[in-house]
Amino acid sequence: MSAPSDDPLFDAIGGLPIVWPDAGYAEHLRERCQATLRRPARPLAVSLEPATIGTVCALYAWHVARIATQIPLP
């Protein structure tokens, strides 16, 4: 039993045609997956990660220090 939905996304998904799998498409999909697995992995660009994290931490510390200097001492 399904409740009526006012969500247009659900209505759009519900209106999609049904795709029944067949042997030809299954073989095509299997070949694509195997070709993707055989392809060498692309190197990830992580060389800037330490610099980015360091910059964010430095900005955070600067901001905390700036706020701390503006608070009056009792």
- 27-41 confidence digits (pLDDT tens): 999 999 999 999 988
- pLDDT higher than 60, residue 1: no
Is residue 31 assigned to a domain?
yes
Q: Which of 3-7, 18-22, 42-46 has the highest mean pLDDT?
A: 18-22
Which amino acid, residue 65? A
Average model confidence (pLDDT) for the chain?
86
- 10 Å Cβ neighbour count for 64? 10
- For 13, 53, 60, the CA distances from 56, given in Å and listed in that order, are 41, 5, 6
- pLDDT higher than 80, residue 70: yes
- Rounded to an integer, what distance in angstroms lies between the CA atom of residue 9 and that of residue 11? 5
The answer to whether the beta carbons of residues 11 and 5 sit under 8 Å apart is yes
Number of domains in the chain: 1
Fill in the DSSP letter of residue 39: S
Is residue 28 assigned to a domain?
yes
Range of the domain at 18: 8-38
Is residue 24 assigned to a domain?
yes
Is residue 16 assigned to a domain?
yes
Is residue 51 assigned to a domain?
no
